């Protein structure tokens, strides 16, 4: 755990140093091209924001990879070792050190700093963009044990995914079958309540106050029996009975309004109810 924290700190410091060197080269290049300082600072502000966002995404990916040890050692015998990881994190500093050695004897401060910055950029690009991906690719392709272990791991992962998918489908089928069984049972046991609701819907003159009170009592009983699924089944049965009893008459679904607020039942708007 301590080693991982230390590697994360070193990698963060190296990335910051890399960004500083990149910003220095960018600003110096604009200034040497004859761009005024106020333009340089303006462009540097936008550039710093873009670089910050890109570096943040990059740090998240690498930080996560170092902290969670995602590389399997048998598949990555080189890049998963502490020595390689330390070399990877120290790449910007090693490049800066190489730039310092290369600029020995240079009297100009700006030229010396440019050499250090360019050494940092070149080394970091070489290690992070070229060497590391190539090394990771060779590790998974060349050693027979790495290829075999990777193939077995991927096959096991595929089998596990298929098992989880089959288990989800089985659970879904069980839930649907249970719900169908419950609906059939509720339709039989609550047939008298459904008949009473249907009579309230097709009555010639509806006393809405008494009708709502009776419908609320029936809906509350259905909620206690089987929740929202039972209420839906009872409502559908009542609508079906009312349409069969009065095929020539438009049936308005007042039940959805009467039951508003019972359990988790929520009624649609009056316009939707009248046109249902």
The position carrying tokens 């230390």 is: 6
Q: What is the structure's pLDDT at 66? A: 47
Return d(Cα 163, Cα 168) in angstroms, integer.
9
The full set of domain ranges for the chain reads 2-142, 190-274
Per-residue pLDDT tens digits for 28-71: 776 666 656 555 555 555 555 555 555 655 554 454 444 444 45
The CA-based dihedral angle spanning residues 172, 176, 179, 185, taken in that order and rounded to the nearest 10 degrees: -140
Q: 193-234, pLDDT tens digit by residue?
A: 888 888 888 877 767 788 888 888 888 888 888 888 888 888
**pTM over 0.85, yes/no:** no
* b/e per residue 30-60 (b: at least 16 CB within 10 A): beeeeeeeeebeeeeeebeeebeeebeeeee
263 phi/psi in degrees, rounded to 5: 60, -125
Q: Report the pLDDT value the prediction gives residue 146, as an integer from 0 to 100.
A: 64
pLDDT confidence tier of residue 130, bands split at 50, 70 and 90: confident
pLDDT at 97: 92
Please give the share of the chain, as a percent, with pLDDT higher than 70: 71
Q: Report residue 125 as tokens.
A: 């690009």
- Among 30-44, 126-140, 199-213, 241-255, the range scoring the smallest mean pLDDT is 30-44
């Amino acid at each position: 755990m301590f080693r991982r924290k230390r590697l994360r700190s070193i990698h963060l410091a190296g990335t910051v140093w890399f960004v500083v060197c990149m910003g220095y080269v960018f600003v110096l290049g604009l200034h040497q091209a004859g761009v005024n300082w106020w333009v340089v600072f303006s462009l540097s502000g936008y550039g710093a924001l873009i670089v910050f966002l890109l570096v943040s995404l990059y740090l998240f990916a690498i930080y996560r990879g170092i902290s969670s040890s995602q590389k399997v050692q048998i598949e990555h015998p080189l890049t998963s070792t502490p020595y390689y990881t330390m070399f990877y994190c120290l790449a910007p500093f090693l490049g800066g050190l190489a730039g310092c050695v290369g600029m020995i004897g240079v009297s100009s401060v700006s030229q010396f700093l440019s050499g250090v910055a360019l050494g940092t950029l070149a080394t970091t690009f070489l290690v992070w963009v070229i060497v590391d991906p190539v090394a990771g690719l060779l590790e998974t392709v060349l050693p027979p044990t790495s290829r075999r272990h990777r193939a077995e791991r991927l096959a096991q992962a595929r089998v596990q995914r298929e098992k989880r998918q089959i288990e989800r489908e089985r659970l879904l089928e069980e839930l649907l079958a249970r719900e169908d069984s419950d609906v059939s049972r509720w339709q039989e046991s609550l047939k008298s309540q459904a008949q009473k609701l249907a009579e309230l819907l097709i009555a010639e003159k509806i006393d809405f106050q008494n009708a709502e009170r009776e419908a609320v009592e029936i809906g509350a009983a259905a909620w206690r029996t089987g929740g929202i699924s039972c209420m839906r089944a009872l409502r559908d049965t009542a609508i079906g009975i009312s349409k069969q009893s009065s095929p020539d008459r438009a049936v308005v679904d007042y039940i959805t309004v009467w039951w508003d607020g019972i359990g988790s039942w929520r009624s649609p708007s009056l316009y939707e109810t009248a046109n249902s």
